[in-house]
Structure 1
Amino acid sequence: MDLQRGRRSFARYVMGEWLPNHRMETNTRQSYTGMIERYLLPEFGPMRMAEILPSHVRNFLSHLSGEGRSAGTVQRCRTVLSSIFTTALNDRVVFVHPCAAGGR
C-alpha cells in the first residue's frame, strides 16, 4: 500500500484520480458523478481513504435506508463505492475493501 496515497481524502482521490481516469460510458459517468456528489462526498469526502472501513459503509447504507431512500438508490451507492474501492485496492491505495464481504 502507498501510505501517502491512503492518507488522501476520499474526495481528493475520487475527484482527482478515480473519476477522471475510470473508463465508463457517458451515461454511466453522469449517473456515478451524481451519486458521488449527492451521497458519497457528503458522507466520506473528508475521510482518509485508508480509514474508511466496512462498518462505515454499513452505517452509511443503513442510514440511507432509514431516511427512506429507495433500495435502488442504496444499491447504486454501494455499487459506486465498490467500484471506487476496487480500483483503490488494485492500485494499493488501501489494503481493505470496505464494500467486499469480510472487508477484502
Structure 2
Amino acid sequence: MGKYLNLIGLAYRARKVSLGEDSILQDIRSRKATLVLIANDASGNTRKRLTDKCNSYDIPYRIVGSRQELSHALGKEDRVAVSVKDEGFAKKLMQLIND
C-alpha cells in the first residue's frame, strides 16, 4: 500500500501537486488536475464535493489511505486530499494504487 506515498512526496517536492480543498477544486475546474487523491477518512462533505467535481469534469480520483499517511508523505499536517497536476505522476500513481 505504501509505494504510492513515496511518489506523492516526490511529486510534492517537484511542485506537481496542489493541497487544500480550494486549490484542488480550482485545479479540477481549470482541468489542471490529472488525478485527485482523497484520504479514506476525509469528511463526508469534503469527499462528496471533490468526487462530484471530479465526476462532472471527468477527472480520475482515488480514495487512498488515511489522512495521517497522506500528511506524512507530504511532510504536512492534516492533509485529506491532493491534486496531481502532472500526467506522468498521475499514471504512475494510479498504477501503484491499483496494484
Higher helix fraction: Structure 1 or Structure 2?
1
TM-score calculated relative to the size of structure 1? 0.33
**TM-score (normalised: structure 2):** 0.34
Of Structure 1 and Structure 2, which has the larger fraction of its residues in strand? 2
User: Which structure has the bigger radius of gyration?
Assistant: 1
